[in-house]
Amino acid sequence: MNRRIVVGLDGSAESVAAAHWAAREALLRRVPLHLVHAEIWDPPLIVAAAGSEERRQAARTLLREASDELLDKHPQLDISAESFDGQPAASLAHATAGASMLVLGSRGLGTLRGFVLGSVGMAVVHSVEQPVVLVRASEDALPHVQGRHLDRGVVVGVDTGRPCDALLSFAFDEASRRGCTLHALHSWMLPPLAGSGAAYNPEVNARIAQLKRTGLDDILRPWQDMYPGVDLDAQVAVGPCAEQLLEAGSEAGLMVVGRRIRRSSVGTHIGPVAHAILHHSTAPVAVIAHE
């Protein structure tokens, strides 16, 4: 199986940042990097056919310049490039078949820190079963940064009711490769009336918190045994899951969230927590598809 990393390029600052992030990740994993550009070349009847060839040439120039820039920064990197004539989301999904990861740029929200995940990015996240990483054009993703993103920790949310091997495998593996701390967080909510004080019982809630912590430790123990070199920071917190994860990941080098694979005629759904993380995380976000 081809374990290369695929990155989508569209000429935006975000996609260039994604390419540099993906290049460092490819070196960590010792795998090739494959640059992909996709758009529909065939013009409408009212547009001159010459426009298609101009766009093809622009795509070739984009890929060549990106390859040259990455090789100048990382001469040991194995890089290939490819352009597709077709719908970008479908083309990226095709190019990612058999790969280990797809990396895309994602636009910031201006004065609000976070992601805007466009229609192409959302379609790809829904359709690709390999890990998809969304990267902003932030300081840490810029080409002159050497390794800063590697030591800032990996954050993963853990559902103790439905633990996910794919999610934890990816998170532990990333932390191991980076030599950084893995922050595993499980959040839970107080009983409905506890916020008003009517049903708040410190002893009961302390017991619940201890049970939650025991459940988290039990889930993480086999993974800690498999990755003894990973510095694991396991935490249980009270509050909405997305809010807790965003707070924990405010200074992280990578956030890891899950997306349940749903094969049905009613479409796809990434879940409210993953959706919130994708749109508001300031760190790169890895979306891991799982059953």
CATH number reported for the structural domain that contains residue 212 in this entry: 3.40.50.12370
Residues 274 and 232 in one domain: yes
> Where a domain ends, among 128, 145, 162?
145
Last residue of a domain, one of 111, 145, 179: 145
Count the domains in the chain. 2
Q: Are residues 175 and 55 part of one domain?
A: no
Residues 195 and 280 in one domain: yes
Domain of 246, in residue numbers: 151-291
- State pLDDT tens for residues 86-142: 888 888 888 998 899 999 988 644 333 333 445 677 778 877 889 999 998 764 554
Q: Residue 194 in contact with residue 200, Cβ under 8 Å?
A: yes
Q: Indicate whether 205 and 245 sit together in one domain.
A: yes
- Token digits for 94? 């095709």
Most confident of 49-58, 110-119, 258-267: 49-58
Question: Are 87 and 170 found together in one domain?
Answer: no
Task: Judge residue 256's burial from the number of C-beta atoms within 10 Å of its C-beta, 0-12 exposed, 13-18 middle, 19 or more buried.
Answer: buried
Question: What is the residue-averaged pLDDT of the chain?
Answer: 82
195 and 101 co-located in one domain: no
The predicted structure's pLDDT at residue 281? 86
pLDDT at residue 192, rounded to an integer: 64
Q: Do 252 and 277 contact (CB within 8 A), yes or no?
A: no
pTM: 0.85
Give CA–CA dist 105/137, Å, rounded. 7
- 103, 121, 145 - which closes a domain: 145
262 vs 122, residue with greater confidence? 122
For residues 221 and 290, the model is more confident at 221
